[in-house]
Structure 1
Amino acid sequence: MLKGNLIIIGGAEDKKGEKEILKEVCSKIDKEREELVIATVATDLPKEVGAEYKMIFEKLGVRNISILNVEDRKDAFENHNVEMVQKASLIFFTGGDQLKITSLLGGSPLFKALHESNQNGCVYVGTSAGASVVSDTMVITGDDEESPKKCTLKMAPGLGLIKNVIIDQHFAQRGRIGRLLVAVAENPESLGIGIDEDTAIMVNNKGEFQVTGSGAVYVIDGSSISYTNVSEQNPDEILSMFDIKMHVLKKGDKFELNTRQPIKEEKQK
């Protein structure tokens, strides 16, 4: 598999046991020479969360670690923060509130540097809120563990590092199938990708991803929807939708985003 430039984690990744996903993150860089940046933009506890991840990555052998803390819009215009992103080989966005990330970074020099770094090979890693924000359209709020309703979802533009997908995290654990179905019904050109906790997708430069971790990934394809009752009228009415496709993937499974198909590997005889 090619060295990918996105790792999208469904949140609550194992930090105390085998740390399978975080080990995979560290394997993407030269742990002796390259720089790993922990971005605490989303969290209300930047010092605590930054320190926790710094200790974990140090124990996993990463020598050069910086913490990017943006608590105000002006921080996204500071040269030293921009330079930190420009020098990074991997940027790890923690969980928290995804709207904080876009509202603090959007349109800033730091936002531009993040896009340029990623295009030049810097690996973007996001967990929980840091996962949702990676796409061009992101879910902000919606009902967990509820039947899908016609128009009860709040969405906003994300960072746009990956196009035509909508990411939802903590997926099975918080019963979010209903809200992702609504997201796809409202945006059928986008693939809905629900990622369980302690589970991640690693996206390579060909537009393929592979699943790792202990849970499942759910891909919802609305391109063949033949009917939906989505509208702003009677928003609490149950959503009706025909001919939608879903794939369920586990560790090791691969998916091709451009063709919207799982990659079936021939079994060895």
Structure 2
Amino acid sequence: MSQSQGQLVIIGGAEDKEGDCKVLREFVRRAGGVNARIVVMTVATEMPREVGEDYIRVFERLGAENVRIVDTVHRDDASSPTYIEAVNKATGVFFTGGDQARITSILKDTELDAAIHQRYQEGIVIGGTSAGAAMMPDVMIVEGDSETNPRVNVVEMGPGMGFLPGIVVDQHFLQRGRLGRLLSALSQQPAVLGFGIDENTAVVVQDNKFEVVGEGAVTVVDVADIIHTNIDDILKDEAIAICGAKLHVLPDGYKFDLAARKPIVEADAPREVATTNA
């Protein structure tokens, strides 16, 4: 796990923008509250103006007065001194939804990418929803089938932005039935932990721990100690067997230790964390 001084707010998509806005409120609070300086990265979406202005409206309603859009349509835009200066002054950088492949193809290994990572090391908050969540690991899910059993050809993987190495992230998790997709991704990667994040729900990562915020849950799949898999013996369209994987289902307020790979159950927790072996 990274020992970065920054924080991540990784959102499973479809977060509330009209009511209490609990998830986005948490992002603004951690980015500095009324003193936050937020950059909205619209690189993933094909409607940057509409989507960007939507987030400006929400963030300003929550009290952040300094919010601006950085719209990198082309890879050359990621060398813009104006955009790099905006990131260097930001206390929070937020990636919208859309297509995660656009994020990596336009931003990865650019000057702007380096500036965002540098500011993350210096302590700012990086947030992302949907595609902006999928891109967080060093290897990300590019696309794949939902509501299916694990198979090699279910999911396409590709380089992510590397804010959360060693993890695989999937979003819209419960709503789109993506457990099979997440297991397929984990079976093909060196990562041993997978996060399945429900809509209007986030994991807030700091100091090798995360906390769940929102109305849904986060499903953590741990394949570090599996006792059997047939991944090396099957053809591309055949079903994957995974024996001994561990599953944690964590609702709002629950925490997880990434280094120890186990939930943090407080003494006054209302109930046992749901944990099963599959």
SS in 2 for 1:175: coil
1:212 is aligned to 213
For 1:94 and 1:232, the matched residues in 2 are separated by 39
2:122 is aligned to 120
Q: Is 1:267–2:268 an aligned residue pair? A: yes
AA of the residue aligned to 1:262: P
1:85 is aligned to 87
Q: Is the 8 A contact 1:188 1:223 kept in 2?
A: no
1:164 is aligned to 166
Q: Is the 8 A contact 2:174 2:198 kept in 1?
A: yes
Q: Is the 8 A contact 1:151 1:232 kept in 2?
A: no
AA of the residue aligned to 1:218: T
Q: Tell me the TM-score normalised to structure 2 length.
A: 0.92
2:252 is aligned to 251
Q: Is the 8 A contact 1:150 1:182 kept in 2?
A: yes
Unaligned runs of 5+ residues in structure 2 are 270-278
For 2:19 and 2:36, the matched residues in 1 are separated by 25
SS in 1 for 2:50: helix
Q: Is the 8 A contact 1:135 1:167 kept in 2?
A: yes
AA of the residue aligned to 2:64: V
For 2:226 and 2:103, the matched residues in 1 are separated by 32
Per-residue deviation at 1:190? 2.9
- Give CA deviations for 1:33-85 in whole Å, capped at 9, x if unaligned: 33111110100100000011101111111111110100000100111111111
Q: Is the 8 A contact 2:38 2:67 kept in 1?
A: yes
For 1:4 and 1:24, the matched residues in 2 are separated by 15
Unaligned runs of 5+ residues in structure 1 are none
Per-residue deviation at 1:230? 1.5
2:77 is aligned to 75
**Range with greater deviation from structure 2 (27-36 or 250-259):** 27-36
2:8 is aligned to 6
Q: RMSD over aligned Cα, in angstroms?
A: 1.7
2:57 is aligned to 55
Number of residue pairs the alignment of both structures matches: 266
AA of the residue aligned to 1:39: M
1:223 is aligned to 224
For 1:92 and 1:119, the matched residues in 2 are separated by 16
- Give CA deviations for 1:98-126 in whole Å, capped at 9, x if unaligned: 01001101111001001101000110000
Per-residue deviation at 1:5? 1.0
- Give CA deviations for 1:16-38 in whole Å, capped at 9, x if unaligned: 11111111111113344331111
Q: Tell me the TM-score normalised to structure 1 length.
A: 0.95
AA of the residue aligned to 1:119: Q
2:177 is aligned to 175
Q: Is the 8 A contact 2:45 2:99 kept in 1?
A: yes
